[in-house]
Amino acid sequence: MKKFLSVVILLTALIVGGCGGSIAFVNDDINTIHVSGNDAGNLVVKKETLMPILVPDGSIIQVDAKISAGRLVIKIDDEEYVINKSGETFIDVAAGDQEFFLAAENGFTGDVFLRAVPKN
């Protein structure tokens, strides 16, 4: 019975602790979001958030990703973008204060930067 109880306690600790994964959503400044994850999509508590960026007139969102596993889902203005590999992409959004919905999935591991940059 003690062995069974020990196994139950260990499993509960792993589930509550999220099995060691981590995620951070940070506004580096008003024009930049940095998402950093380590096996984040496998956490027990779903890791998603709304993050703001101030998009100046004549700007676009540059997404610079260095991902080794999983994916980051970005939603803005009823559009969904899935970032699942390293590289650069751009998202055209209206100028002004924009809120981006971000969700780490499938063991997201890596770094993604979203920045408002001039279109030209």
55-70 per-position pLDDT tens digit:
999 999 999 999 999 9
Q: Closest Cα partner for 96 from 53, 62, 49?
A: 53
Q: Please tell me the predicted confidence (pLDDT) of residue 40.
A: 81
Contact 11, 17 (CB under 8 A): no
Which token pair is 93? 């959004």
Given this model, what pLDDT does residue 48 score? Answer: 82
SS3 20: helix
Q: What single letter denotes the amino acid at residue 34?
A: H
Calculate the average pLDDT of the chain. Answer: 83
| Whole-angstrom distance, CA of residue 37 vs CA of residue 107 | 8
At residue 97, does pLDDT exceed 80? yes
d(CA 102, CA 117): 19
